[in-house]
């Protein structure tokens, strides 16, 4: 009885000591590393290696490190709960710009930005509903325009005149992809039908695969996705099918590495370029924050990835449509309502 | 005798935690990380600054309630694995009250919290009812109800609570918020909220209920041996249902606290948050006692919140902390420390004789 009490006392004191010591030492090591320009990047729950949005954002940060000598650090969010602590962590370190990748940060960025008025924040893929605090720069892309070209590519490649679209969580952002894509198909091949499915997730690979499987089995031969990690399932599925007959179109970055013989092309969103350019402008004090920056073909922020599978005549058509969009001849629809009136 | 039991559970828990931390350290070293810097970052990042301390308490709050929820069901011999679903439904109900009603400050929050708790209780009622009346195992029903809750919540958010299909709801009215200025100021604008007061209060409620009332005595009796309880004239079915209702109520308060205090809105979730499942581990480590649950929830809160800083300062992936958590649970469940104590005891006896 007595000995047991001793044992517990001993153990708890060891624990307390361990905690206490570690704390003190840690406090010394927490100082600043360099005095230069510092960038922090907080990912959404997809993580840094999502082979999509977060990863390409990080590429931009890495380029800034290499070319501009910027000190960079990432923080991955495991749950939605982590967004505010992660942003705060960087803000407390007085990083010069803190990037939040993805529209999931829409609700938390204003809160943190208000609390740290002297720190700059960047959010990608959301304009915060138009109410952008003075120390925030909001970067959005004209994804509908890029998706339009993906639609043209799909429409001119399909043999069955059946085309699929897999979306992540249905939201205005992903609807932009869908609307643009369907408009592109409609413009280039009015006979083709587009089937739309949403996975209601950005990381459920299995769901992506089963959606793709159903689509291909129903006669669809080209599928475009805007679903982050879910898209990996699409590529897993298309790989198992006949070459040259079934196609997948990637999104955000050139995804042909996932299925080299089956990737028709990818709608590349140069998030890396955007992050690099804006970081650079901010470093050189050329940027005015507190507003939305919209990027499209003109800024070289969107494009279709180069691919051997796109035939020259298809490429020519795509180039034509691209010019028309840049000239403003074609106004690509952003929403379902606009799509309905699109001719 | 009871004192001896109590003491040995505390020792069991402490030994298990210690062994878990050691196993985690070994795993980190094997994976090529410095375990000491990692643990430094872990504790420094969760306790040393007002903001982090506040966030740690915020992380701990739902864990306490989820732990109490699991613990009270355990005491009646039930395994409530549906805390996750009960939390989601409570969140949703509290949010609806927070958005749609218009009540004065304070009262609004109280109504929203209560509605959340009741919603959680109702969600837990069905598994309890089916168990009591039809003998259906509550684990199966609870797991299924989790998925119903998750997707029901997503559908309602998408089609009813948001405009133009956004992926998250508008924010609740500030009148319904559980955040109070003086707490936020004190903890450097972290998201700590009054949920922690509710959680501690509920821990006391659970203690009082189980050990100081006739109902609590019956609940525990059913947990020890339902046949004996029935023979003694207790209504086992009723007690099963009551236990699930209380368990669901605690889970509901956890959910309500999350939406009214921490977030203020709900986003469409593609997967469970895992808080409800962590609640099972919390209850296990806390030996299903209110005070044990509070401390083990605090430990889980520190580990969960601190693991983010571990990545930041020591570049150790936070997944490794889950190894520590799993190891702790393993040592508790396998009762390794009991074996160790036995060895000590036999040695001592050998010496004495």
- Are B293 and B67 in contact by the 8 Å Cβ rule? The answer is yes
- Which burial class, exposed, middle or buried, applies to B139 when counting CB atoms under 10 A from its CB (0-12, 13-18, 19+)? middle
> Given A22, A27, A107, which is nearest B39 (Cβ)?
A22
- pTM (2 decimals)? 0.82
Report how far residue B19's alpha carbon sits from residue B13's, in angstroms, rounded to the nearest whole number. 10
For residue B341, which residues of chain A lie inside 8 Å, CB to CB? 4, 7
For residue A128, which residues of chain B lie inside 8 Å, CB to CB? none
Q: Does B155 touch chain A (CB under 8 A)?
A: no
Question: H-type helices in chain A, by residue range?
Answer: 2-29, 53-68, 83-92, 108-115, 143-157, 172-188, 205-217, 231-239, 271-283, 312-327, 336-340
Decide if pLDDT at A19 tops 60: no
Decide if pLDDT at B296 tops 80: yes
The domain tally of chain B equals 1
- What tens digit of pLDDT does each residue of A129-188 get? 888 999 999 999 999 999 999 999 999 999 999 999 999 888 888 999 999 999 999 999
Decide if pLDDT at B37 tops 50: yes
Look at residue B92 and tell me if it is in a domain.
yes
For residue B318, which residues of chain A lie inside 8 Å, CB to CB? 76, 78
Give the least confident one: A11-25, A76-90, A328-342, B31-45.
A11-25
Look at residue B339 and tell me if it is in a domain.
no
Chain A residue nearest residue B16, CA to CA: A11
Decide if pLDDT at B54 tops 60: yes
pLDDT at B10: 84
Look at residue B172 and tell me if it is in a domain.
yes
Closest Cα in chain B, distance from residue A197 (Å): 15
Mean pLDDT of B19-24: 93
pLDDT at B5: 53
For residue A18, which residues of chain B lie inside 8 Å, CB to CB? 21, 39
Q: Which domains does chain A have, with CATH numbers?
A: 38-141+272-295 (3.40.50.2300), 143-268+311-340 (3.40.50.2300)
Residue ranges making up the domain that contains B243: 51-297
Task: Using pLDDT thresholds of 50, 70 and 90, give the confidence band for residue B283.
Answer: very high
Two structure tokens written together for A256: 């042909």
Give the least confident one: A42-56, B84-98, B232-246, B317-331.
A42-56
Select the residue from A10, A50, A85 to test the B interface by mutation, using most B Cβ atoms within 10 A.
A85
Closest Cα in chain A, distance from residue B64 (Å): 17
* SS3 state at B266: coil
Question: Please, how many CA atoms are within 13 Å of residue B125, restricted to the half-sphere of its CB?
Answer: 8
Q: Can you give the CATH number for the domain in which B128 is found?
A: 1.10.3470
Backbone torsion region of residue B255, taken as left when φ is above 0, otherwise alpha when ψ lies between -120 and 50, otherwise beta: alpha
Query: Does the CA dihedral B167-B173-B177-B180 come out positive or negative?
Result: positive
Most confident of A276-290, B53-67, B327-341: B53-67
- What tens digit of pLDDT does each residue of B4-18 get? 455 667 888 899 999
- What tens digit of pLDDT does each residue of B204-220 get? 999 999 999 999 999 99
Look at residue B83 and tell me if it is in a domain.
yes
pLDDT at A7: 52
Task: Using pLDDT thresholds of 50, 70 and 90, give the confidence band for residue A4.
Answer: low
Most confident of A91-95, B164-168, B247-251: B247-251
Look at residue B84 and tell me if it is in a domain.
yes
Closest Cα in chain A, distance from residue B126 (Å): 27
Most confident of A164-178, A285-299, B292-306, B339-353: B292-306
Judge: B271–A204 Cβ closer than 8 Å, yes or no. Answer: yes
Report how far residue B201's alpha carbon sits from residue A302's, in angstroms, rounded to the nearest whole number. 55
For residue A79, which residues of chain B lie inside 8 Å, CB to CB? 273-274
Report how far residue A12's alpha carbon sits from residue B10's, in angstroms, rounded to the nearest whole number. 10
Decide if pLDDT at A16 tops 60: no
- What tens digit of pLDDT does each residue of A234-268 get? 999 999 999 889 999 999 888 898 999 999 999 99
Report how far residue B59's alpha carbon sits from residue B75's, in angstroms, rounded to the nearest whole number. 25
pLDDT at B223: 94
Look at residue B305 and tell me if it is in a domain.
no
Select the residue from B162, B277, B312, B328 to test the A interface by mutation, using most A Cβ atoms within 10 A.
B312
Decide if pLDDT at B1 tops 70: no
More confident residue, A208 or A4: A208
Closest Cα in chain A, distance from residue B135 (Å): 34
Task: Using pLDDT thresholds of 50, 70 and 90, give the confidence band for residue B191.
Answer: very high
Closest Cα in chain B, distance from residue A26 (Å): 5
Look at residue B344 and tell me if it is in a domain.
no
Q: Does B6 touch chain A (CB under 8 A)?
A: no
Look at residue B340 and tell me if it is in a domain.
no
pLDDT at A5: 54
Decide if pLDDT at A193 tops 80: yes
């Amino acid at each position: 009885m007595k000995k047991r009490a001793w044992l517990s006392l001993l153990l708890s004191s060891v624990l307390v000591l361990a905690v206490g010591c570690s704390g003190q030492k840690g406090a010394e090591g927490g100082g600043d590393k360099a005095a230069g320009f510092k960038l922090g990047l907080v990912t959404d729950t997809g993580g840094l290696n999502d082979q999509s949005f977060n990863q390409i954002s990080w590429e931009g940060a890495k380029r800034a490190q290499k070319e501009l000598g910027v000190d960079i650090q990432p923080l991955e969010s495991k749950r939605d709960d982590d967004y505010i602590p992660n942003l705060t962590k960087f803000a407390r370190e007085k990083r010069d710009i803190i990037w939040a990748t993805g529209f999931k940060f829409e609700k938390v960025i204003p809160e943190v930005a208000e609390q740290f008025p002297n720190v700059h924040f960047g959010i990608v893929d959301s304009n915060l509903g138009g109410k952008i605090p003075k120390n925030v720069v909001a970067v959005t892309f004209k994804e509908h325009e890029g998706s339009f070209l993906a639609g043209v590519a799909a429409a001119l490649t399909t043999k069955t005149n059946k085309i699929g679209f897999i979306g992540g969580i249905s939201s205005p952002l992903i609807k932009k992809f869908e609307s643009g894509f369907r408009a592109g198909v409609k413009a280039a091949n009015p006979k083709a039908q587009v089937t739309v499915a949403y996975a209601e997730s950005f990381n459920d690979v299995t769901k992506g695969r089963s959606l793709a499987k159903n689509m291909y089995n129903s006669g669809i031969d080209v599928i475009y996705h805007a679903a982050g990690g879910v898209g990996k399932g699409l590529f897993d599925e298309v790989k198992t099918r006949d070459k040259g007959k079934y196609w997948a179109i990637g999104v955000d970055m050139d995804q042909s590495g996932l299925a080299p013989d089956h990737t028709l092309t990818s709608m590349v969103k140069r998030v890396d370029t955007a992050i690099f350019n804006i970081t650079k402008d901010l470093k050189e004090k050329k940027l005015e924050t507190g507003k939305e920056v919209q990027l499209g073909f003109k800024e070289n922020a969107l494009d279709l990835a180069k691919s051997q599978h796109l035939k020259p005549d298809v490429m020519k058509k795509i180039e034509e449509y691209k010019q028309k969009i840049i000239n403003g001849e074609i106004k690509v629809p952003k929403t379902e309502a606009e799509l309905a009136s699109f001719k | 005798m009871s004192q001896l039991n109590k003491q040995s559970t505390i020792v069991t828990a402490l030994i298990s935690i210690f062994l878990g931390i050691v196993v985690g350290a070994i795993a980190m070293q094997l994976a090529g990380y410095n375990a000491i810097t990692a643990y430094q970052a872990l504790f420094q990042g969760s306790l040393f600054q007002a903001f982090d301390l506040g966030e740690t308490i915020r992380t701990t709050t739902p864990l306490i309630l989820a732990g109490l929820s699991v613990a009270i069901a355990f005491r009646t011999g039930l395994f409530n694995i549906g805390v996750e679903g009960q939390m989601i439904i409570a969140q949703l109900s509290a949010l609806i009250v927070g958005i749609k009603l218009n009540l004065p400050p304070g009262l609004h929050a109280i109504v929203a919290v209560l509605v959340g708790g009741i919603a959680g209780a109702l969600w837990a009622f069905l598994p309890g009812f089916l168990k009591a009346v039809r003998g259906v195992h509550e684990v199966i029903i609870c797991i299924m109800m989790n998925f119903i809750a998750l997707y029901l919540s997503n559908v309602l958010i998408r089609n009813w609570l948001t405009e133009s299909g956004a992926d998250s709801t508008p924010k609740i009215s500030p009148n319904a918020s559980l955040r109070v200025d003086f707490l936020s100021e004190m903890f450097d604008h972290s998201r700590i909220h009054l949920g922690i007061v509710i959680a501690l209060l509920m821990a006391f409620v659970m203690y009082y209920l189980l050990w100081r009332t006739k109902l609590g005595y019956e609940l525990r009796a059913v947990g020890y041996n339902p046949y004996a309880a029935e023979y003694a004239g207790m209504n086992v079915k009723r007690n099963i249902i009551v236990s699930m209702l209380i368990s669901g109520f605690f889970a509901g308060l956890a959910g309500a606290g999350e939406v009214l205090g921490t977030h203020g809105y709900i986003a469409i979730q593609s997967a469970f948050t895992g808080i409800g499942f962590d609640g099972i581990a919390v209850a296990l480590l806390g030996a299903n006692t209110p005070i044990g649950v509070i401390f083990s929830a605090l430990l889980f809160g520190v580990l969960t919140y601190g693991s983010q800083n571990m990545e930041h300062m020591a570049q150790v992936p936070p997944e490794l902390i889950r190894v520590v958590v799993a190891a702790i649970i393993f040592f508790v469940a396998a009762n390794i420390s009991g074996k160790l104590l036995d060895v000590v005891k036999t040695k001592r006896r050998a010496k004495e004789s």
